[in-house]
């Protein structure tokens, strides 16, 4: 497999084709991972073409054993670099030579049925801007994974972050701290006084070889490690919490937290808002929304309650275990 050792790119295959094959492979892996974790549910698959070029495969597992709704989406799309895209895609003004873009990526959101198991999100993507002759004039890597508990179990945040710290540490000693902070700064419901969507994880974007002083292979190898992190980062949490008893109170808390998840995704999430504004395939863009969510007027978290304990968990902190 590519990227596993920073090996030179095969000169006969474009980086874009190689990245697409990588994403396809990881997509199949996470599909199998979530089906195995669910223990009974099966993904239904939708293949779709994008009018402007490219397409994708959306797989959704609905009404599973563990998961109320889980979606894994992959896409590889290209198109003309419109002024709107040129302004926003690259995290800075687009290279003046760029006339088109290519992006391939995978996006995962899994909403468990039980409130005792957290929701998890992951995505990775490889982006290129291309000149008039099809030459790559800019390229970068982005992605991340984050955890959204709907019941306060701090050990789960410890576990998730400790695994991510170790995954990041195998690629760069500064990555975990930097990308954990980026995640805390990104998944924020600013309109809720800065309340976080969950307990975070890692988030990164616009990682370019020149800026990072690393070859693209190394950046892709890092993204690949993130794409493969859920069996270690998430599965143990799901397994140890899936059979915990719960009742109406825990379900209410889950539905309210999912309401905040909807608010973040529709109001703040860059990818979602961008998809809504640019006519992306809407069912794939909104695949991330929870199967059910609730809103109450001004709910109160009584001191000492599970609601208050969850509020407290949403305040960013150093979740990872002390370095060994």
Choice from 17, 99, 235, 286 touching its own copies (CB under 8 A): 286
b vs e for 122-134, b when ≥16 Cβ sit within 10 Å of the residue's Cβ? bbbbbbbbbeeee
Candidate ranges 58-66, 197-205, 226-234, 236-244; the one touching its own copies (CB under 8 A): 58-66
The span from the CA of 208 to the CA of 216, in Å, is 7
Catalytic, out of 27, 121, 159, 171: 121
Q: Smallest distance from the beta carbon of 60 to its own copies, in angstroms?
A: 4
Residue closer to its own copies by CB (options 174, 279) is 279
Candidate ranges 31-39, 132-140, 209-217, 258-266; the one touching its own copies (CB under 8 A): 258-266
Q: Smallest distance from the beta carbon of 277 to its own copies, in angstroms?
A: 8
Site for its own copies in 69-88 (CB under 8 A): 69, 71
Choice from 158, 178, 192, 240 touching its own copies (CB under 8 A): 192
Give the x-and-dash track for 218-257 against its own copies (CB under 8 A). -------------------------------------x--
Q: Are 66 and 88 in contact (CB under 8 A)?
A: no
SS (H, E, C) 254-287: HHHHHHHHHHHHHHHCHHHHHHHHHCCCHHHHHH
SS (H, E, C) 204-239: EEEECHHHHCCCHHHHHHHHHHHHCCHHHHCHHHHH
The span from the CA of 232 to the CA of 324, in Å, is 18
Q: Is 292 in the site for its own copies (CB under 8 A)?
A: yes
CA angle 307, 311, 316 (to 5 degrees): 155
Choice from 262, 306, 308, 309 touching its own copies (CB under 8 A): 262
| 134: nearest Cα among 53, 16, 24 | 16
Q: Smallest distance from the beta carbon of 191 to its own copies, in angstroms?
A: 4
The span from the CA of 226 to the CA of 104, in Å, is 15
Q: Is 136 in the site for its own copies (CB under 8 A)?
A: no
Is 171 tagged catalytic?
no
Choice from 28, 46, 172, 250 touching its own copies (CB under 8 A): 46
Candidate ranges 28-36, 120-128, 142-150, 289-297; the one touching its own copies (CB under 8 A): 289-297
Choice from 259, 305, 306, 316 touching its own copies (CB under 8 A): 259
CB atoms within 10 A of CB 283: 13
The span from the CA of 14 to the CA of 2, in Å, is 12
Q: Smallest distance from the beta carbon of 197 to its own copies, in angstroms?
A: 14
Residues found near its own copies in the complex (CB under 8 A)? 46, 58, 60, 62, 69, 71, 191-193, 255, 259, 262-263, 266-267, 273, 275-277, 279, 282-283, 285-287, 289-298
């Amino acid at each position: 497999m590519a990227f596993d050792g920073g090996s030179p790119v095969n000169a006969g295959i474009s980086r874009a084709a190689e990245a697409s094959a990588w994403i396809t492979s990881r997509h199949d892996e996470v599909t199998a991972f979530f089906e195995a974790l669910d223990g009974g549910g099966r993904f239904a698959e939708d293949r779709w073409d994008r009018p402007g070029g490219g397409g994708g495969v959306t797989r959704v597992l609905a009404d599973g054993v563990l998961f109320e709704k889980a979606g894994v989406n992959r896409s590889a799309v290209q198109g003309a670099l419109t002024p709107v895209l040129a302004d926003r895609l690259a995290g800075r003004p687009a290279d003046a030579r760029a006339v088109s873009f290519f992006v391939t990526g995978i996006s995962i959101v899994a909403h468990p049925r039980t409130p005792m198991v957290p929701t998890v999100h992951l995505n990775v993507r490889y982006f290129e801007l291309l000149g008039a002759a099809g030459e790559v004039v800019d390229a970068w890597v982005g992605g991340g994974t984050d955890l959204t508990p709907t019941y306060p179990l701090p050990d789960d945040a410890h576990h998730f972050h400790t695994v991510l710290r170790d995954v990041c540490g195998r690629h760069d000693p500064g990555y975990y701290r930097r990308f954990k902070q980026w995640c805390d700064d990104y998944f924020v419901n600013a309109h809720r006084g800065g309340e976080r969507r969950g307990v975070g994880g890692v988030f990164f974007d616009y990682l370019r070889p020149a800026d990072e002083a690393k070859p693209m292979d190394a950046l892709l190898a890092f993204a690949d490690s993130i794409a493969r992190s859920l069996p270690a980062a998430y599965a143990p949490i799901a397994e140890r919490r899936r059979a915990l008893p719960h009742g109406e109170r825990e379900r209410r808390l889950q539905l309210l937290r999912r309401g905040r998840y909807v608010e973040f995704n529709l109001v703040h999430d860059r990818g979602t808002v961008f998809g809504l504004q640019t006519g992306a395939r809407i069912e794939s863009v909104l695949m991330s929304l929870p199967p059910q969510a609730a809103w109450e007027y001004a709910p109160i978290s009584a001191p000492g309650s599970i609601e208050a304990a969850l509020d407290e968990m949403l305040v960013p902190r150093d979740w990872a275990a002390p370095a060994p």
